[in-house]
Amino acid sequence: MEGQARLNKKGTERRMVVLAVTWMAKMGRESETAAIFEKLSAESRKEPGCLMYQVHKHKTDPRRFFIYEQYKDDAALEAHRTSPHFLQMAKKDLIKVADRTEGHLFEPLG
């Protein structure tokens, strides 16, 4: 895909990174979990290095959420992880109503 790999100031390649995460809402906390994800999505999409931030709710298991995130490079992902909205919503608010069950980091082939 064109534009995936760029050179940074040191002349080394910067590559798009993808994070795929699964969360399970605690019993009876599905609506609260969804509301936090809606706010987190809106704020995350405003980040300059965020290419995509999409939360999905499982079709048959209302407690299961899947988040697909794309960032222009590792620095953009790190900026997301240290942003005030992420620290508040993901590290403080979300963990009260849901559990992170899985997280995987990917990079494009080729």
pLDDT over 80 (residue 59): yes
| pLDDT at site 13 | 59
Q: Within its chain, how far is the Cα of 55 from the centroid? A: 8
pLDDT over 80 (residue 17): yes
Q: How many residues does the chain have?
A: 110
> Under 8 Å CB-to-CB from 102, ≥6 apart: which residues?
20, 21, 22
* Exposure class string for 28-49: b at 16+ Cβ within 10 A, else e: eebebbbebbeebbebbeebeb
Q: Are 72 and 14 in contact (CB under 8 A)?
A: yes
Which CATH fold would you assign to the domain 21-101?
Alpha-Beta Plaits (3.30.70)
What number is the average pLDDT over the span 37-50?
A: 98
| pLDDT at site 2 | 42
| pLDDT at site 9 | 54
Angstrom distance (rounded) from CA 62 to CA 77: 28
| pLDDT at site 44 | 98
| pLDDT at site 12 | 46
> Under 8 Å CB-to-CB from 52, ≥6 apart: which residues?
68, 69, 70
| pLDDT at site 110 | 75
Weakest mean pLDDT among 5-14, 27-36, 57-66, 69-78: 5-14
What number is the average pLDDT over the span 5-30?
A: 80
> pTM value?
0.85
